[in-house]
Chains A and B, each alone.
Chain A
Amino acid sequence: MEILKINNLKKSYIDSEGELTILNGITFEVSKGTMVAITGESGSGKSTLLHLLSLLDKADSGEILYNGKKITGSDKLISKFRNKSIGFIFQFHYLLEDFTAIENVAMPMFLATGNMKTSLLEAEKLLKRLDLINRKHHYPNQLSGGEQQRIAIARALINKPDIVFADEPTGNLDKKHSDEIFNLLRELNREIGQTFIIVTHDEEIASQLDIHYFLENGLLQLHSAE
């Protein structure tokens, strides 16, 4: 079953030199429980595509369907949908520095429900699962790079989203931590059937995912598949 369906998505920017087309008719589908990799050169529009898919930005034309439905409405409604159905993992952990690890993980659920107690309980379960329970009261600056990214992964999963978008999740880590994070995402995919769309530079990681797309000249091409 397709969890995400994209039809002829286009996006361009106007700058001093004129119109710059970034995405020129992207069409693809993502089935539930798959791990999709998107690679491409720097500036090819990978992050722009991710922002459009995650409804953080608006496309010039084209269609984005989640479970067959087009998500439209006010910014508030879209925010609510994003909070409930979409998870994010960024290249840099982007944890909230003023909050502890467990509070960071609980934040998306707390924003959705307003119930901190339940959110903290859920966050605790995730931290146990990711073997970070002994770090729950640490602030981001008291954690290692790998730990920070694992906290960010836990945060992306707390609302049990339909799909998680990861923008270079291992881009800021050394090989050892990078493998650790990738294995963790893989485990989560196998254990709970979590769907991931991962933008990465790392061809080795991309080649291990279920589907690998390559973004070039504003178009998405199938690179390889397992």
Chain B
Amino acid sequence: MNKIEFFFFKNYLFSEKKEWLRFDSLFSIIGVILSVATLTIAHSIFGGYETALKDSILGANSHIYIFQPGAANLNQEQVNDLIQDFGGKKEVEAIAPVIQIPAMAVNEGRIKGALIKGINWKAEAQPTKYRQYIRQGTWEMPDNKDVVMGKKLADELNLTIGDLVKIVSPLHSKFTPLGYKSKSKKFKIVGLYESGMYEYDSKFVFMNMQSARGFSPVSSEYSLIEIKLKSEFINKADYLAYKWEMLNDGFYQISSWIEFNGNLFMTLSFQKWILFIIISFLILLASFNIVSAVSTSIIEKKKEIGILKAFGASSFLLSKIFVGKTMILSSIGVLLGQLIGYIIAYFLSVQNFFLLKGDVYFLEKINVKFSFQDFTIIFIISILMIFVASLVPLKRVSSLQITDILRGM
């Protein structure tokens, strides 16, 4: 920007006449503010949903799972060997065996499907965020009758801390003279677990390893081994799982979180950008208003254009001044739209009045993500669209002949 353009822009913004307060300029900028705010809200909520979902999935689950191929369990010896093999790897932060048994949780005639997770709650390094997700009570389960339940599951069964819950495992039924009898036991709820992921919070029942084994037909066996990776390796889990499986000659089945959830995140990302493109059309519509405002301004300023041309101003300089004025106001509009968008998105994220349906959307709370990268992308795309739109009426400036303007004045 040279001094001449700067002078014109300064005069435009700060002169007593406040040209930018004109009705059509103001309303075209309000259009930009609203469309950019809409785009910002949609993008930050979608981004927030994606991030929160990822955090919940990665927090409630480990990153790599080691199974015995087929439906078989891992015995103690295998578990010891695997912990020795994998525990020392530079990528591994925590490793632990887990017992997983499908079950039912029962209270006063209410029955809900559940998943027993027998864990070593005492271990300092847990492969999941089990301890961090305890919202009420404790994560310690020293007694064989203690359980930590998903909060949603407890709510659905009308249970809370200190209440007793009956856990039934129909998979390991015994034949009695009265027919098949499922394995069942009453437990005391010592903690309520909430990861934010509906699927887990309405299903998980944590208990210590010994209690879980009570529901297993074979003692001293484990369902799988869970591995938590160091943060820098989380996105390489897929590759590591494949590599380690190959190194073990396929003796164990090793899977990663990406294998189970990769498609979900790919779909989410795709949807986010499709939504971005669709909402960007709102900005395109707002840009049409800008074309109209710039055209009107050129027609109204025809006399000034003629005078300035007569005194030596080139069409290029005049065009730059018109575009510059539009861009200054539009940039303020875009920034204001982004600010308003972020404020509204923030309020949506802290309110508890409107919640999502957890059983449909996995998460109940509306989450938002504010990132500098998204901010920059929205800003650049909006400004680019408005810039292109502002160029459309400019050919009028160069086509205006000074003599025609002077004669018409």
Instruction: Please tell me the number of chain B residues within 8 Å of chain A, measured between CB atoms.
Output: 28
B312 and A111 within 8 A (CB): yes
User: B-side interface residues toward A, CB under 8 Å?
Assistant: 2-4, 7, 11-12, 15-17, 19, 303-304, 306-314, 317, 401-403, 406-407, 409
Q: Does A51 reach chain B (CB closer than 8 Å)? A: yes
Q: What is A's interface to B at a CB cutoff of 8 Å?
A: 47, 51, 54, 56-57, 75-76, 79-80, 82-84, 88, 90, 92, 94, 96-99, 103, 107-108, 110-112, 114-116, 139, 155
The interface residues of chain A lying within 8 Å CB-to-CB of B309 are: 79
Chain B residue with the shortest CB-CB distance to A56: B402
* A to B CB contacts below 8 Å, 23 in the list: A56-B403, A56-B406, A57-B401, A57-B403, A79-B309, A80-B312, A82-B310, A90-B406, A94-B303, A94-B409, A96-B307, A98-B11, A98-B12, A98-B17, A108-B311, A108-B312, A110-B4, A110-B7, A111-B312, A111-B317, A114-B3, A116-B7, A139-B17
8 Å CB contact of A97 from B304, B308, B314 = B304
Q: Is the CB of A107 within 8 A of B311?
A: yes
User: Who on chain B is nearest to A92 by CB?
Assistant: B409
Known: A47-B407, A80-B312. A99 touches B11 (CB 8 A): yes
Question: Would you give the shortest CB distance from B187 to chain A, in whole angstroms?
Answer: 80
Q: Identify the closest chain A residue to B404 (Cβ).
A: A57
Q: How far is the CA of A103 from the CA of B311 in the complex (A)?
A: 14
**Cβ of A54: which chain B residues have Cβ within 8 Å of it?**
310
> Which residue of A has the minimal Cβ distance to B19?
A98
Using A51-B402, A82-B310 as known contacts, list a sample of 15 further A-B pairs with CB atoms less than 8 Å apart, ordered by residue number in A: A56-B310, A79-B312, A80-B312, A82-B311, A82-B312, A83-B312, A84-B312, A90-B409, A94-B409, A96-B307, A98-B19, A110-B7, A111-B311, A114-B2, A115-B3
Nearest Cβ distance between residue A100 and chain B, in whole angstroms?
9
Query: Does the CB pair A51–B4 fall under 8 Å?
Result: no
Q: What is the CA–CA distance of A57 and B15 in the complex, to the nearest angstrom?
A: 34
In whole angstroms, what is the CA distance A80 to B17 when docked?
A: 30
